[in-house]
Chains A and B, each alone.
Chain A
Amino acid sequence: GIQVEQSPPDLILQEGANSTLRCNFSDSVNNLQWFHQNPWGQLINLFYIPSGTKQNGRLSATTVATERYSLLYISSSQTTDSGVYFCAVRGAGNMLTFGGGTRLMVKP
């Protein structure tokens, strides 16, 4: 099946800093989503982005499908950005495959 690798696995930032999270995948995808899991375990969809660039406030994402990667940018980070960020992709089948996540801690 499709492989999804996320980097870095862990990230510590000072409040106000910017960061880039990366998601590499091993095959062509029809669906790519970025999720944030907050410290209470809730999963929130950030972007549905199988290709192109989207922005939502301080967050933006870019997927270069031909080169099999996606990037999530967080600007002016806040403590509420802490948690785990997951990339999930779907190839030819019906299953969404999740990466291992990037654990982000934003310090005040």
Chain B
Amino acid sequence: NAGVTQTPKFRILKIGQSMTLQCAQDMNHNYMYWYRQDPGMGLKLIYYSVGAGITDKGEVPNGYNVSRSTTEDFPLRLELAAPSQTSVYFCASSYGTSGRGTQETQYFGPGTRLLVL
């Protein structure tokens, strides 16, 4: 298993440009997440998905969009990039059960380093 994969590893964007960060997992996890990590800080949740076709906002969703058309893929779209979006972006996945909302161990991808100039 490749686990959680992310592309690209590094990208430089100009202000106002758009891009899509790709995330895929091959563990058949139903939950997937996007986080951002600013320098010297912890991770903040941008968006998450509990299954194909279902997405929800996290703590810092402004300026981003997501979609979840398959179990495996969870792309993050940046529209009109701003310098404040310079960060490292991590995708993660986990197996969760409905009802009590139990979610177990989260597995992280290697991250995408984004610089907006």
Please report A residues at the B interface, Cβ cutoff 8 Å. 1, 30-31, 33, 35, 41-45, 48, 86, 88, 90, 93-101
B70 within 8 A of A: no
A interface majority secondary structure = strand
Which interface residue of B42, B56, B107, B108 has the most chain A CB atoms within 10 A?
Answer: B42
The interface size bin for chain B is 20 to 34
Provide the residues of chain B in CB contact with A93, threshold 8 Å: 101
Chain B interfacial positions (CB closer than 8 Å to A): 33, 41-45, 48, 50, 56, 58-59, 88, 90, 100-108, 110-111
Instruction: Tell me the minimal C-beta distance from B99 to chain A in angstroms.
Output: 12
Known: A43-B90, A96-B106. A30 touches B100 (CB 8 A): yes
| Interface residue from B58, B102, B105 paired with A45 (Cβ < 8 Å) | B105
- The answer on a CB contact under 8 Å between A95 and B48 is yes
Q: Closest 4 A-B residue pairs measured CB to CB?
A: A98-B42, A43-B108, A48-B105, A98-B43
